Amino acid sequence: MSKRNLLCILFCLFVNPWAMSQDLHYPAKHWMRYSKITDAGFDERQLAAVKQQFEEQGGSTLLVVQAGKVAFSWGSPDRRYLQASIRKSYLSALFGIFAEGGEIDLQADLASLAVDDLQGLTDTEKKARVIDLLRAKSGIYLPAAYSPKGMAKFLPTRGSHQPGTFWYYNNWDFNALATIFQQETQQDLFSAFDKRIANPLQMEDFRLFDTYYRFEKDKSIHPAYLFKMSARDMARFGLLFLRQGKWKKQQVIPAGWVKESTKAHTANLGRGFQERGGYGLLWWIAPPINGNTVFYAAGSGGQRLFVIPEQDMVIVHLVDTYQNRAVNNSITLSLVKQLLDAKTKEVKRNAELEQLKVPVQEKSPALDRTAAKKVIGEYHHPFLKKLGISLQKNDLVLQTGVGTFKLFPLGQDQYLIEDIQFPIVFKAGDAVQKGTASSVVNDQRMVEQVIFYFFPKP
């Protein structure tokens, strides 16, 4: 190769790092994995220790992608988990797509967009721009749907900060962004995600059925937008951002948006968030780990999606929050460090690969519609509050405050809750028990089943 040709290639790579993107690996319909963990550069003995700690600390599923292939997977990569606040990073991606298309003006303020709420925004609050909400700097401190107690407890005094000047992690900003998105694009948020992101990435488990708008109309007119997603689909989303928004030959998200949304717009986050690092546009930026830049999406309970560009790596960490388990942020960041420590070698070139396989689910018996109809109705649970059982097409479903779950028949008046993975048992109740539900827990406070008491119809 001539010196001139070599210089041309180097120029293309530095000016356009995606000039050789055809050489990058992406999953097709299914993920491929390294046949040997060592071929992905990881030390088996170190990983065994990390796995033990991961399980002891309450982790449920962990999936690591190295150079576009799965290095290893623990737990159930196809099980859909509640995403909690990871939802915000999904919305960020949509804003990047539609802002570039000119359908959303990031500099527009709430006054011009006619965005308001139950209590009425002040003239000052209406000066908050879309970009301020994306940065969590709206200066609007109002009640919001799907807000944890701590978020509401430490809410700054209303009017204490001008829009754009002070960072506070408040669901009002994030929920109002969904209203703005749908108003400006005239598209349903979840359908847009399905069309513009899930479909191009060939997500294997994502379904519109698993999305849910949570309204708390006594607090706000703006609903929270909830997702359930599997580790292997989350990893595709992480890989998309690792690849600067490009999926194979398609620029799904503008590269400029990926860069802008995953850099720290706020570096010092204040009380309760110091260890998290910085905040971008609905993404977190961790303090450097082993000298590596790490940005991540985070959800309550320990749901995490880490992207580590220098290592060409994506890490998905999930916790069984259905069982009220939780892993704090410092533990998840420590786990990332341990995983990076365990990567002791370079990835083997031309390593042998195999398809990432998941257990085949046994087919459940056909739904007995006559038996199902007798248990349809509303129920009240001491902790979960209002629950509903209904028939949707050919499925019996459980409706909760965080979404809808299919019920698969197990036997007489017994059903398995999809993804939650513990059974519901229906029992005839008396006049006192009718319409109630209660959980049966073991010595480890794990839910073994939920009993629903229905009133027998004559």
Q: What is the DSSP-derived secondary structure letter of residue 266?
A: B
Mean pLDDT for back-to-back runs of 10 residues, the chain (458 residues) = 43 39 83 98 97 96 98 98 98 98 98 98 98 98 93 92 97 98 98 98 98 97 98 98 97 98 94 89 97 97 98 98 96 97 96 94 88 95 96 95 96 95 95 94 94 85
pTM: 0.94
pLDDT for 151 equals: 87
Nearest to 66 by CA among 39, 30, 29: 39
Q: What angle do CA 196, 201, 205 make, to 5 degrees?
A: 100
Residues 28 and 70: their CA atoms lie apart, in Å, by 13
Residues 6+ apart with CB under 8 A from 247: 26, 200, 201, 240
The 3 state secondary structure assigned to 111-123 is HHHCCCCCCCCCC
CB atoms < 10 A from the CB of 457, how many? 8
Matching residue, tokens 């965005």:
115
Residues forming beta bridges with residue 447, ordered by sequence position: 441
Residues 6+ apart with CB under 8 A from 209: 404, 406
Residues 126 and 93: their CA atoms lie apart, in Å, by 24
Alpha carbon distances (Å) from 377 to 336, 407, 408? 45, 14, 17
Phi, psi of 375 (to 5 degrees): -105, 0
Residues 278 and 108: their CA atoms lie apart, in Å, by 25
What domains sit in the chain, N to C, each tagged with a CATH number?
A: 32-355 (3.40.710.10), 369-454 (2.40.128)
Structure tokens at 242: 């690792």
Nearest to 308 by CA among 35, 50, 59, 67: 67
